[in-house]
Amino acid sequence: MKTGALVAIGVVAFLHVYFMVMEMLLWQTPRVRATFGMTAEFAKDTASLAKNQGLYNGFLAAGLVWGIVADDSIGLSVRIFFTACVVVAGVFGAATANVRILFVQAVPGAIALALTLLSR
């Protein structure tokens, strides 16, 4: 069960690295604009906000990776904390920005959190 939890956390970490790259580096590209339904002007106007948001996604990814590599004396607590943060961020994003965030961020995070709690 622990291996499944670690794999799920790894997937969530990868997703957050992907979100970080999209938001910090690719925000104004046609593909990302299409993904978020943005005009070129809106993407340009919000690029600094997206970079800030991307940085936070990078912090979530770093924390998830830390939880994976840390020994269990601290790793379990780190995994629980950061997967819970992902779930909260995903639910908040779904409520305030776009309901798709629930499925892209909160659900994978909730699955990883549940597997982590079951693996204790």
Reported as a single tens digit per residue, the pLDDT across 62-118 is: 999 999 999 989 999 999 999 999 999 999 999 999 999 999 999 999 999 999 999
Q: How many residues does the chain have?
A: 120
Of 51, 40, 46, 117, the closest CA to residue 84 belongs to: 117
CB atoms near residue 26 (< 10 Å): 17
How confident is the model at residue 72, as a pLDDT? 87
Q: What is the pTM of this model?
A: 0.94
Tens-digit pLDDT profile for residues 1-49: 899 999 999 999 999 999 999 999 999 999 999 999 999 999 999 999 9
